[in-house]
Structure 1
Amino acid sequence: MTSQYNERFRRFSERIEKGILIGIVVCAIVLIAGEFLIQYAPVRVLLIETEQLEGVLPIP
């Protein structure tokens, strides 16, 4: 019974590990894509609020 438990746990942990690695890779790709997107002015204006407010004095 112990060896069956160990085998099932090993298979389960391999699936979890694969899911975590895929999640890390997806997050890295999204981060890199976002960094490339904010390099372009039209996209940067849509994504970053402070870009629209630069040089504009707040109304008291």
Structure 2
Amino acid sequence: MTSQYNERFRRFANRMERGIMIGIVVCAVMLTIGEMLIQYVPARALLIETERLEGVSRLP
């Protein structure tokens, strides 16, 4: 009985570990893509509300 429990727990822990790792990678990729989009001026105007509300020109 204990051996069966240990085997089931090991399989469950492996699935959870794989899911957490996938989640970390997805979050890192999304963060990178978001940072790249903010560098693109038309996307920045669409994504960041304070760009429009501050009233300060981006061009000198």
1:14 corresponds to which residue?
14
Percent identity over paired residues? 75
Measured on the aligned residues, the alpha-carbon RMSD in Å equals: 1.0
**TM-score relative to the length of structure 2:** 0.88
Gaps of 5+ in 1: none
User: SS state of the match for residue 39, structure 2?
Assistant: coil
**TM-score relative to the length of structure 1:** 0.88
Once the two structures are TM-superposed, the CA of residue 53 in structure 1 deviates from its matched residue by 1.6
Q: How does 1:21-40 map to 2 (within 5 A)?
A: 21-40=21-40
1:48 corresponds to which residue?
48
User: SS state of the match for residue 55, structure 2?
Assistant: coil
